Amino acid sequence: MDDAQSCTSRLHELDARGEISRAVELCESELCSENVDCQRYLGWFYANNGNPERACDWYRKAAMQGSAEAIEEYWKCVLMIDARGNKQKAIELCQIAPFSAHVNCQRYLAKAFFEKGDVDATLQWCLRLAEHGSSDDILYVGRLYLSKNEPRNALEFLKRAAMQGSARASQLIGEIYAFGIGVPKDEEMALPYYKAGAEHGLILSQMRLLHLCRHNDAGIGKLASMVRLFFLITRAIFIRFRNAEDPRIADIPQ
C-alpha cells in the first residue's frame, strides 16, 4: 500500500472511531498533508469549527489536485465568509484560480463588482460567464453594453442570446433597429425580432409590432389596431399590478 492509500485508509479508520483530533493530526502531518482526502477532511474540520478561511486553504490544495468536490466545498466556505460580512475576502478568494473559472464564483464576482459600481469589472466577469453559453448570461452582457452606450457590441451578444431562444434579447434587438440605436434605423430589420418577442408573450414587442404593422392599415383596420393597442396597455397595467417582475412586461417604461 502506497503512502496515499495508507493515509486515506488510516484517516477512515480514525474518523469511523470518532477520533477527530487524531485524524486532523494525521492529515496535517508531513506524510499525509498532500493527500487529497486528508486535505478535504481538514477543509471540513476547519469549516465546521468556525474557520472558513483556513478551510479554504485546504480545499484549494485539494482542488489544485483535481478534486471537483473540493471546488464546491470551497465555494460554500466563500459564502460563509461573505455571510460574516467579509465581502472583500470573499471576492479575493473567488478571484484565485481555479475558482475564478467556476460559474458560481464568476456570478458572485459580477454581482459584487456591480454593487461596487465598477462597470468594467462587472462586464469582465459577465463576459467570462457568457463563455459558459447560458442565454441569460449572454443577454446580460448585451444589456451591459447597451448601458455603456455600445450598441454594436450589444448586438453581437443579443443576437447570440436570441439564437438560443431569448425573447428579451429579440425584443431589445427590435428596439435597436426600430429606433436606430447606434445603427441605421431599419423597421424591416426590427420586424422579425419583435415577432419573436411577441410570440413569447412580451407585451412591448406586441405593442411595437402593432405600431409598425398599422402603417398599412386603413379605415376599419386602423380602428381595430387602436382597440388592440388599448387592450395591450390595459393588460400590461393588470400584469404589473399582479406582479411587477413578470417577464411579459419586461422593458416597458414605468
**CATH code, 91:** 1.25.40.10
DSSP annotation of 216 reads G
Contact (Cβ atoms closer than 8 angstroms) between residue 134 and residue 126: no
Q: Could you tell me which residue, 45 or 223, shows the higher pLDDT?
A: 45
Contact (Cβ atoms closer than 8 angstroms) between residue 24 and residue 55: no
Residue 118 is assigned to a structural domain of this protein? no
Answer yes or no: is pLDDT of 217 > 90.
no
Contact (Cβ atoms closer than 8 angstroms) between residue 204 and residue 251: yes
Measured between alpha carbons, how far is 85 from 231 in angstroms, rounded to an integer?
48
Q: Could you tell me which residue, 233 or 192, shows the higher pLDDT?
A: 192
Mean pLDDT of 54-67: 97
Q: Which domain holds residue 65?
A: 1-101
What does each C-alpha distance from 73 to 1, 18, 63, 82 come to in angstroms?
28, 22, 10, 14
Q: How does residue 216 score in pLDDT terms, banded at 50, 70 and 90? A: low
Residue 197 is assigned to a structural domain of this protein? no
For residue 4, the model assigns a pLDDT of 66
For residue 65, the model assigns a pLDDT of 94
Mean pLDDT of 8-33: 95
Q: How does residue 1 score in pLDDT terms, banded at 50, 70 and 90? A: very low
Q: How does residue 74 score in pLDDT terms, banded at 50, 70 and 90? A: very high
* Among candidate residues 104, 115, 112, 145, the one with its CA nearest the CA of residue 127: 145
Residue 162 is assigned to a structural domain of this protein? no
For residue 245, the model assigns a pLDDT of 87
Residue 173 is assigned to a structural domain of this protein? no
Residue 170 is assigned to a structural domain of this protein? no
Virtual torsion, Cα 88, 92, 95, 99, nearest 10 deg:
-110
Q: How far is CA 43 from the centre of its chain?
A: 27
Residue 93 is assigned to a structural domain of this protein? yes
What does each C-alpha distance from 184 to 14, 111, 176, 203 come to in angstroms?
72, 33, 9, 25
Peptide bond into 247 cis (omega under 30): no
Residue 139 is assigned to a structural domain of this protein? no
Residue 27 is assigned to a structural domain of this protein? yes
* Among candidate residues 26, 71, 77, the one with its CA nearest the CA of residue 51: 77
Total domains in the fold of the chain:
1
Answer yes or no: is pLDDT of 139 > 90.
yes
